[in-house]
Amino acid sequence: MRNVILITLSSVTLACAACYKKDAPPVEPTTLEKVCTEAFGPYYDERKHSRYHRVSFDGYLATPKSAMISNTMFVEVYQSPNRGGKKVLSSFTVGSSKNRVERLKNGYKESDLKIESNSGAALGHGSKVKIVGDVSPGGVPGKWLDGCYVRVDTIEATP
């Protein structure tokens, strides 16, 4: 009986250790115009796994001119108001909770963009925001700068 209890406790301990999630990489503050540059390209960790930089930057939301929507949607984020300056695409999960974008309907207008911030504030077209997320290289190996975007973890309004 004693051996069964020890084996069970050992199994539970090992299972918990296997489920332990490693901390996310630290957030690297940057500016929007530097996000999709060589400085934030994919890299390999000590175990030769591909990793991505976790960044934070400020920008202005803009409703996309056209959108392909599945369980994610790209939203344009610009360096300056009114679609000014450099643009970075940001990938949001579609939904109606924090850090998610509401699904756009056919024939949408700029004012239809609705995103709930991490603190619960309503954000839309033209909102100044701080985004935290992972820089993704896109889908074409060797041409990551062409398909670079940010997978958004959190978004907050900034003054």
Residue 80 lies in a domain: yes
Could you report the average pLDDT of every consecutive run of 10 residues in the chain (159 residues)?
A: 50 49 77 89 78 94 90 95 95 95 93 96 97 83 72 95
Residue 8 lies in a domain: no
The per-residue pLDDT for 41 is: 82
Residues in CB range of 69: below 8 A, 6 or more apart: 94, 103, 104
The per-residue pLDDT for 45 is: 76
The per-residue pLDDT for 139 is: 59
Q: How many domains does the chain have?
A: 1
Residue 7 lies in a domain: no
Residue 16 lies in a domain: no
Of 98, 94, 93, the C-alpha closest to 120 is: 98
The per-residue pLDDT for 142 is: 56
Q: Which residues pair with 54 in a beta bridge?
A: 27, 134
Q: What is the pTM of this model?
A: 0.79
Residue 9 lies in a domain: no
Residue 38 lies in a domain: yes
Residue 13 lies in a domain: no
Range of the domain at 66: 24-157
Of 154, 155, 147, the C-alpha closest to 42 is: 147
Q: What is the CA radius of gyration of the chain?
A: 20
CA distance 96 to 82: 26
The per-residue pLDDT for 20 is: 43
CATH number for 119:
2.40.50.140
Q: Count Cβ atoms below 10 Å from residue 125 Cβ, excluding itself.
A: 18
Residue 1 lies in a domain: no
Contact in structure between 147 and 52 (CB atoms under 8 Å):
no
